[in-house]
Amino acid sequence: MTLKDIALRNLRRRKAKASFVLAGLLIAVSTAVALLGLIEAMNRDIQQKLEEYGANILIVPRTENLTLTYGGLSLGGVSFEMEEIRQADLVRVKAIKNAANVAAMGPTVLGAVKVKDHKVLLAGVDFQATKILKPWWQVAGTAPSDFGVLLGSEAARILALKTGDHFKVSGSNLEVSGVLVATGSQDDQLVFTRLDTAQSLLKKEGLVSMVEVAALCNACPIEEMVRQISVALPDTKVMAIQQVVQTRMETLDYFRKFSYGVTAVLVLVGSLVVLVTMMGSVRERTSEIGIFRAMGFRRSHVIRIVLLEAGIMSALAGVLGYLVGFGSTKVALPLLTGGNGMVVTFDPVLAAGAFVTAIIMGLASSVYPALLAARIDPTDALRTL
Amino acid sequence: MSYIQAENLIKQYGAGEAAVTAVGGMSFRIKMGEFVAVMGESGSGKSTLLTMMGALNTPTSGEYSVDGLEVYELGQDQRADFRREFLGFVFQSFHLVTYLTVLENVMLPLVTVKTNGRTKRAMAEDALSRVGLDGKAHRLPGQISGGEQERVAIARAIVNEPPILLADEPSGNLDTKTSREVMDLLRSLNEDGMTIVMVTHSPECAGYARRLLRISDGLLVEDIPINGSAINLECWSSGVME
């Protein structure tokens, strides 16, 4: 026979009151778990979407010249000295603090070449990285191998080349392995080949003209990623393509704040339910507490009995609350999102958080009733017998 | 020699002109091992005196000591410890905890004692055996008779072998036969050396004691030895008793 046994026996006897406490805590915890689970699922979805949106950071050589293009128009005949980035320096990006958030890094070397009397821009790219950086690319044909090229749709039209055709650039024979379906971007004007092939043709071995980076950092500002890369590559200019990311982040942030607000209100209401129920329970047990005190229970023993009861119910509510919340999210997510593939997974941190929150809620709300119980005058209590 | 000693104990409820004096200045000394009956009309201050003796009700003034220990100079926790170590309570109407079994009720005073569960259980079973309730340990209070509930209350009061047992109307809700059994039990405990202070309305029950304290209007009006027989009701012809 221990204080815990007394607490358990009392809970079993007062099933209705115990159920009320359990319900108060369970509703708060399960709703919080459901909302936070939903945010987490949306988070993951946005990460995935970000990947689909491709590059969001651009690294270009630092230059003192102004760009002579505007609205897609370039002032022909005007050229300026173009600096390059050393390819070997790019490994430093892999050492930044948020390196894990770099999904793909696509170095590109650019240079003008002459094809069939036309001046065209040759771009050497890493086709593996390009799959992530430009997921919207659709190729009629295959990705180029050594000395193979991929033509932008406009370039193919103007140069009158199609898949399987051959042409010479700087004395090297190149084969068209595919043509890009029109993208509506500058990519339509370019001739793409492998990075090493282009470096060789352009005599720019070990150099790149720009680097596109896909950074998946929804927990940290994109500016922070830019700052870290700028520090790693001091001779470059690092720019964020912010719009898409920021809009998404802001939407999620609003929802996150709203969810925290709802959770806070529910936690407050749940705590009040526990407080009122425990107060009622203590008042009903005045005589019993009088007996305990007469039997030599200290005030601290009475407090412990009340808190043990609250603790047991809170622990139960924490476990059940997580399960109910998790289950609700699993059921509700496909209905809310129209089955767009968002998934909710077991999150040990959320589970532990739900458990700890339930216990803190239950115990904090029961402190005052416990103190009231301990302050009951045993003589008054025994008079009620 | 050890004593329970009260010196000009006063207990008032309320303050100023509305103050009500429940105990108006009582002094007495009880030797350890005595069996004392406290009698008086309703509202005379018997129960207040008993709760003060039980370290449950702080007197407005006066001194109260047990075996030289000034009880009301102790802090709340020490008073709780004092109750656990020195006192056993038998309340009117049994006052068992309804959701605990007979055995668990008897174990209540041992809950806060640092002894292993097996020892506590053995002590509770022993106490139940002493009051003749061996076979009913696992019943709930509602499943046994009034007389048996009173025995459980007594077993609970003696389980930690306190030197003093305070009983408030122990036979108040019992029939004559069961009352006698309970009083025989109290006498037996007293013969084993336990000090018993018993508040009662029943002259017959008081007759089991060796000393009688008679209280009226919060004052001790009589302190006499009795010879162990039922007190003649004529003693109370003055109308002090109800």
For residue A282, give the nearest of A361, A371, A373 by alpha carbon.
A373
**Span A264-287, average pLDDT:** 90
As a whole number of angstroms, the distance between CA A103 and CA A244 comes to: 16
Nearest CA in chain B to A11: B99
Q: What are phi and psi of B227, to 5 degrees?
A: -100, 15
Contacts of A18 in chain B (CB under 8 A): none
With beta carbons under 8 A apart, name residues in chain B contacting A12. 99
* Separation of alpha carbons A7 and A55, rounded Å: 60
CB contact under 8 A, B84 and A6: no
Contacts (Cβ under 8 Å, ≥6 apart) of B103? B121, B124, B125, B128, B137, B138
Give the C-alpha separation, A305 to B161, whole Å: 25
Asked if pLDDT for residue B190 goes beyond 70, the answer is yes
Residue type, A213: V
Q: Where are the beta strands (DSSP E) in chain A?
A: 57-61, 69-70, 73-74, 85-86, 102-115, 118-125, 139-141, 148-151, 166-169, 172-180, 191-194, 207-208, 210-215, 236-240
Residue of B57, B100, B109 with shortest CB distance to A296 = B109
Q: A117 CB contacts (<8 Å, ≥6 apart)?
A: none
What pLDDT was estimated at residue B147? 84
Q: What is the percent of chain A where pLDDT is above 70?
A: 86
CA distance A11 to A24: 15
> What pLDDT is stored for residue A294 in this prediction?
87
pLDDT digits 0-9 by tens, A368-378: 999 999 988 88
What pLDDT is attached to residue A369? 94
Report chain A residues whose CB lies below 8 A from the CB of B97. 288, 291
Find all residues with CB under 8 Å of B109, minimum gap 6, and list them. Answer: A295, A296, B84, B88, B156, B157, B159, B160
Mean pLDDT of B129-144: 89
Q: Report the C-alpha gap between A143 and A304 in whole angstroms.
A: 72
The chain-wide mean pLDDT, for chain B, equals 87
Instruction: Tell me: pLDDT of A341 over 70.
Output: no
Q: Which residues of A touch B (CB under 8 A)?
A: 1-3, 5-6, 9-10, 12-13, 287-288, 291-301, 378-379, 382, 385
pLDDT (0 to 100) of residue B238: 38
pLDDT higher than threshold 60 for residue B236:
no
* Interface probe with A: pick from B74, B78, B97, most Cβ of A within 10 Å: B97
Q: What is the pLDDT of residue A79?
A: 43
Mean pLDDT of A31-43: 84
Neighbouring-strand partners of residue A193: A124, A149
> Which of A18-22, A101-105, A174-178, A373-377 comes out lowest in average pLDDT?
A101-105
**Pairing relationship of beta strands B195-199 and B35-40 according to DSSP bridges:** parallel
First to last CA, chain A: 23
What residues of B are in contact with residue A5 (Cβ under 8 Å)? 104
Mean pLDDT of chain A: 84
Of B56, B95, B107, the CB nearest to A385: B95
Provide the pLDDT confidence category of residue A77 given band limits of 50, 70 and 90. Answer: very low
Show residues of chain B in contact with A292, CB under 8 Å: 108
Question: Cβ of A296 and B83 within 8 Å?
Answer: yes
Give the model confidence (pLDDT) of A195-206 as tens digits.
999 999 888 999
Using CA coordinates, name the residue in chain B closest to A291.
B95
Q: In the predicted model, what is the mean pLDDT of residues A320-334?
A: 88
Nearest-angstrom CA–CA distance, A93 and B27:
91
Q: Is the pLDDT of residue A81 over 70?
A: no
* CB-nearest partner of B93 from A300, A301, A385: A385
Contact B104 A293 (CB under 8 A): no
> What string of DSSP letters covers A93-145?
GGGSTTGGGEEEEEEEEEEEEEETTEEEEEEEE-HHHHHHH-TT--EEE----
At A195 the pLDDT is: 92
Residues A44-63 have pLDDT tens digits of 776 666 655 556 788 888 87
State which residue of chain B sits closest to A295, comparing Cα positions: B109
The residue of chain A nearest to residue B58, with distances taken between CA atoms, is: A379
A-chain residues within 8 Å CB-CB of B77? Answer: 298-300
Of B48, B77, B45, B81, the closest CA to residue B66 belongs to B81
Average pLDDT (B57-61) is: 91
A221 confidence band (pLDDT: 50, 70, 90) = low
B51 neighbors B91 (Cβ within 8 angstroms)? no
CB pairs below 8 Å between A and B: how many?
A: 81
Predicted confidence band at A66 (pLDDT cuts at 50, 70, 90)? low
Q: Does B77 contact A298 at a Cβ distance shorter than 8 Å? A: yes
Q: How many CB atoms lie within 10 A of CB B15?
A: 8
C-alpha to C-alpha distance for A164 and A166, rounded to whole angstroms: 7
Contact call for A298 and B81, based on CB within 8 A: yes
Q: What is the pLDDT of residue A355?
A: 93
**Is A173 within 8 Å of A200 (Cβ atoms)?**
no
Q: Which residue of A has its CA nearest to B54?
A: A294
* pLDDT on residue A51: 58
Q: What is the pLDDT of residues A159-195, one digit of tens each?
A: 999 898 999 888 888 899 999 999 888 889 999 999 9
Residues of A within 8 A of B121 (CB-CB) are 1
Lowest-pLDDT choice from A124-133, A317-326, A356-365, B53-62: A124-133
Q: Is the pLDDT of residue A73 over 70?
A: no
For residue A17, list chain B residues with Cβ-Cβ distance below 8 A.
none
Listed ranges B15-19, B213-217, B232-236; the one with the highest mean pLDDT:
B213-217
Distance CA A204, CA A86 (A): 10
Between B57, B83, B117, which is nearest A379 by CB?
Answer: B57
Query: Do the chains contact at A294 and B56, CB–CB below 8 Å?
Result: yes
pLDDT of residue A49: 65
The token pair at B186 is: 């109290």
Option in B81, B83, B93 nearest A294 (CB): B83
Instruction: Look at A295 and B93 and tell me if their CB atoms are within 8 Å.
Output: no
Higher per-residue pLDDT: B214 or A171: B214
With beta carbons under 8 A apart, name residues in chain B contacting A296: 80-81, 83-85, 87, 109, 112
Q: What is the pLDDT of residues A343-361, one digit of tens each?
A: 778 888 889 999 999 999 9
- The reply to whether residue B95 touches residue A382, judged by beta carbons under 8 angstroms, is yes
Top-confidence residue, A209 or A66: A209
List of chain A residues whose C-beta atoms are within 8 Å of the C-beta of residue B57: 378-379
CB A201 within 8 A of CB A169: yes
